[in-house]
Amino acid sequence: MAPEAATDFVFRFIELPPEPGYRAFTRHGWHAAELIVDRVDPLADKLRDSPFEIVAPPLDLSFCPDIRAMQIRGPGGEILYLTEFKKPVPGLESPPARCTVDRTFIVIVGGKSLEGMQRYFLSTFGVPETPAMESRVQTMALEFGLSREHRFRLAALPLRGRCYIEADEMPAAARPLPERHTELPAGIAMVSFYAPESTDEAASGLEAPPDSGPPYTGATSVQCLRGAAGELLEIIRCP
């Protein structure tokens, strides 16, 4: 599925047996997808009587009042951030909202060590490290019995196309992902990234993807990797 104005992004839904007791932001791995939206407060009104659970109502970000966001829980237990930029924010460029709810521009991964996650993305993909900041992550705070105002250490790692990976350092009580999966993890199981064709070490052992339409249209190869927090990444290589 894709937003009505998007030609550069899709959600993929995979039907799997439910994982008993799964809750996003209780263990390491992918937790949330952040979607750019036109106006978040009217969306909150529409979603109050919907199948989505409102986890956190619209609120200005603690480190930037020009960004306003809410958090909802979807049918697979995944968390979605719906984020409005009231005006451009220096140092945190975002893609424009081309429709009421547009593409994902940030994916959120949680792990034991912020420095460890940053080192993985730098050494594997050349994604530059960025200074750590402290910010509210209300959904994670609630899962660990902390105040909504609790601040967590996190960093926004810049990608092309004004997109980011947000790496959140989780409390010590957060559970690790299993080293081996008999099924894909619950919630946001995997995030796919487009990348140019390359001969670097990270691109070794690739296989041509099946001709199955988006997101593989025009791709030459695909690879699945495991990140520093145990998260699954799919790298789709394109000319």
Looking at residue 72, its pLDDT comes to 95
Instruction: Tell me the pLDDT tens digit for each residue of 85-102.
Output: 999 888 788 899 999 999
Q: Is the bond into 239 cis (omega within 30 degrees of 0)?
A: no
Instruction: Tell me the pLDDT tens digit for each residue of 109-131.
Output: 999 999 999 999 999 999 999 99
Q: Tokens 């750590």 correspond to what residue? A: 132
Q: Tokens 């609630």 correspond to what residue? A: 142
Which top CATH class is 29-169? alpha beta
- Please give the Cα distance from 91 to 88 (Å, whole number): 9
Two tokens, residue 89:
């924010």
Instruction: Tell me the pLDDT tens digit for each residue of 211-229.
Output: 667 888 888 888 899 999 9
**In the chain, % of residues over pLDDT 90:** 63
Domain boundaries, the chain: 29-169, 190-238
Give the predicted TM-score (pTM) of the model: 0.90
Least confident residue range of 56-65, 66-75, 153-162: 56-65
Instruction: Tell me the pLDDT tens digit for each residue of 2-53.
Output: 998 877 889 999 998 888 889 999 999 999 999 999 999 999 999 999 999 9
Beta carbons of 41 and 33 less than 8 angstroms apart: no
CA distances from 220 to 40, 155, 165, 201, 208 (A): 38, 32, 24, 17, 6
- Please give the Cα distance from 109 to 107 (Å, whole number): 7
